[in-house]
Structure 1
């Protein structure tokens, strides 16, 4: 099923939710109209700061809250596409799930090099699961960006340095871009096309979204140069999508991959995506898990989320409450999740 914008009589929760939304709107992220300057301030490495993918100015706070499939709060321009930043990673995971469901990726434990031919060296022990959980430890370079310069790895407690596959977790856009490269080779099609046919068209997403890569990001497949999208926006690019369309994606996961009776993603893939990684229990297949209250300390442990740009873009899914929250360009979003969750009975 998909969300309806019909009003729902939950009067005992709505005042608290509306108050939470008003507070979130007042916490608008400043400076996003000059996205190049804003983006530059987020990139801390000095050696490779050049933006090599497109940027999109921000449009201000927006959001949607759905409860049991009905929208109960809405603010801002929910139909305007925005950069998704690292929320893109979760969509990349869903594209991998579609490949798994269709038999293109029968074993996530298989070495990537045994499955596809790539223009970079990975090593025989690096598996698809390592890429999906950000535990690959890959030390290579893609399109002029070496993995070791991605300071995000250090920000979230990981290490940008090389580690044996599976030994350590690190939040790293270069290694996620390696997954995008491998999935493009696996599908033998641009991933934007795959996402449209396998995910977004089946759930009724608008035609306004787009998915971008870096200027020189391509791979030769069957004699044709295919564009390779980026899995985040550390150096530009990534998924650009509206708040309304992100809500649809959240509803798909809330419904365990089912949409109006059609299984778009398997329940097995949903379960695997939300299964904690052994070296970082707060992470699944490019999903954040709040089981230990490490993602948002005051939010429910039952929540799973996609996060981007320091949580300024958030897709929150809480199956226990039948709740989906999408927030864009609002600071301190953990307060919004806490306040809305407190207003929803379990």
Structure 2
């Protein structure tokens, strides 16, 4: 795009999002102001809410000028309304985007729904007895593997050593998990294992007799008005075509935001109870401590404490490689979503942390 036209489009963006009352799009179809669409979101402008938007204007200018790279969407919901939406990259409002490991947090929702509906007895149900076909065939065998429960998979405390890169080259991702050596007694310490989240998806399928695409559509996506999504497929025994519940689910950013809003609203979306409040509370309780930054880890959700202008602020968050984030701030009635293209790049993947701390959260803390 010629630089003059890029400047014009960016200027229209600033005017549209922050000051005017009309919607506009650039030639890529990127929405420059939250539009009322038939997707269940109520929309409003920040200007109408009397928020000082100078910092958000500065954020978008910094992204436009290349200070922050690979940011493909930024969305904000406040008080159950979509109030900010920008797509500065090649992806637009209608495009689905990989959530990478943020998918794990959605898998947690699905496990909660399966328990709510009686397909699984509880999060304390043992895992290995659900897979009788592997009896006598598991490598690095230990009797302690019989103690691994859904709770351990959800809290990343199974004791199984994670080895994600090797999993992708194996021909059975479920058995791969059980074959890995134990590095700790189940329940004792945090050990990140994507393969454990893959097992959770198959557990749901075995309990409900529904494949993950059908289960998720019936009990989660359809109630949330999510119509566009794509589950990747795993390698599995007998080429069963099992959905990959450890990462890579593709969703529209607006629909990622719905997952965050669902958690903020204790499991309800537009008045419908989709997953129980009990499960939400369990999901965001710190059952373990991550070995990444020492943050709390719930049921496939990270519990983060930030300090903004010296004030602590708690959030629960879904994180994915490349810059995929769903972030829920209960105290502020706020949900933010980022998608990005910085796969395997650090610290670029974590640029949204600075965008939050420097540009977004101060706006809403001041407006409390």
Matches of 1:74 and 1:299 in 2, distance apart?
26
State the Cα distance separating 1:11 from its structure 2 match: 3.3
Runs of 4+ in 1 over 4 A off after TM superposition: 139-142, 144-150, 296-300
Matches of 1:231 and 1:173 in 2, distance apart?
9
Does the 8 Å CA contact 1:108/1:128 hold for their aligned counterparts? yes
Identify, as 1 or 2, the structure richer in helix. Answer: 2
Structure with max Cα Rg: 2
Which sections of structure 2, spanning at least 5 residues, go unmatched?
1-38, 139-143, 342-347
TM-score (norm 1): 0.75
Matches of 1:107 and 1:148 in 2, distance apart?
21
State the Cα distance separating 1:139 from its structure 2 match: 5.6
Of residues 183, 194, 212 in structure 1, which corresponds to 2:232? 212
* Counterpart in the other structure of 1:318: 329
Q: Determine helix, strand or coil for the equivalent of 2:76.
A: strand
User: Residues 17-43 of structure 1: CA distance to partner in whole angstroms, max 9, x if unpaired?
Assistant: 2322443453222xxxxxxxxxxxxxx
Which sections of structure 1, spanning at least 5 residues, go unmatched?
30-59, 151-159, 220-224
State the Cα distance separating 1:16 from its structure 2 match: 1.8
Count residues in correspondence.
Answer: 292
State the Cα distance separating 1:107 from its structure 2 match: 1.9
Q: Determine helix, strand or coil for the equivalent of 1:227.
A: coil
* Counterpart in the other structure of 2:338: 327
Matches of 2:310 and 2:200 in 1, distance apart?
32
Q: Determine helix, strand or coil for the equivalent of 2:242.
A: strand
C-alpha distance 101-329 of structure 1, shift in aligned 2 (>3 A): same
Of residues 163, 168, 177 in structure 1, which corresponds to 2:189? 168
TM-score (norm 2): 0.71
Of residues 252, 264, 267 in structure 1, which corresponds to 2:262? 252
Of residues 204, 207, 213 in structure 2, which corresponds to 1:186? 207
Q: Determine helix, strand or coil for the equivalent of 2:114.
A: helix
Matches of 2:311 and 2:77 in 1, distance apart?
17
Matches of 1:168 and 1:62 in 2, distance apart?
35
When the two chains are superposed, the root-mean-square deviation of aligned CA atoms in Å is 3.0
Matches of 1:299 and 1:62 in 2, distance apart?
27
State the Cα distance separating 1:289 from its structure 2 match: 0.4
Does the 8 Å CA contact 1:273/1:284 hold for their aligned counterparts? yes
